[in-house]
Amino acid sequence: MAQNLKKQGIAYPLYCIICYYCIIFNSLAVPSFKKASLFLLSLLFIVLGFAQRGTAQTAKTDLDRLYEKYKGNSETTIFVGDKEISARVLINYNAKNKPYRIIVYGEAAADADLEELVDQLGQAKTKAGYKRSQHAGAVNFDQNRVYENNIQVSVYQKGTQYAKYGIKKMEDRNQLVGETENPHHTSDFFYFEVGDTARKSTLKPEKFDF
């Protein structure tokens, strides 16, 4: 509680002062001081209530935090070890023009350690209070008809917030005519998504008119 008050600035010193005088007044056997102590305790609870309310109002979801980082950008760079990977950014908005989903996707060379990156992202979500789904999900993503298959993803959930991380091996299909060798693994397609299901469902259904 005290840590939340520290974030509120002046609320924390006021909290300390009230606690100090409550202890002093309670140690004195004077009725008027006892009443003053009760008044200060009431004031203390009011301060705590406003502090909690202020903390709740200023708290941002992961979606809002990432939106501040990626809004206005269609591309970004991901650093994996000593490699730089170019990725595309896709932001979807609801009917109120509020973001409800952010997708970062792209393709990296087969020797890029994307599995380690996905593990790190998942561990960060777990530490942030997300729960990993026991069942893998699937995303049918075909942006501009470049990627033709579903992507298996790990799904993390916290309330209405969620995150999906997936990697799919791509094969070299540009073989020479008459070549019979099977396609080989040349690159990895990655798909990272963060969203809020409550934000998506803000669209109000309209009465059908025809």
pLDDT mean for each 10 residues of the chain (210 residues): 48 56 53 55 60 54 93 92 90 91 90 88 95 87 64 93 90 53 74 92 64
Distance (Å, whole) CA 21 – CA 17: 6
CB 89 within 8 A of CB 70: yes
Q: What is the pLDDT of residue 154?
A: 94
- Distances 206 to 92, 99, 197, 203 between C-alpha atoms, Å: 21, 21, 20, 9
Whole-number pLDDT of residue 161: 95
Q: What pLDDT, on a 0 to 100 scale, did the predictor assign at position 104? A: 95
Look-up of token digits 């792209």: 106
C-beta of residue 85 within 8 angstroms of C-beta of residue 49: no
What pLDDT is stored for residue 129 in this prediction? Answer: 94
pLDDT at site 206: 64
pLDDT for the residue numbered 90? 94
Model pLDDT, residue 159: 93
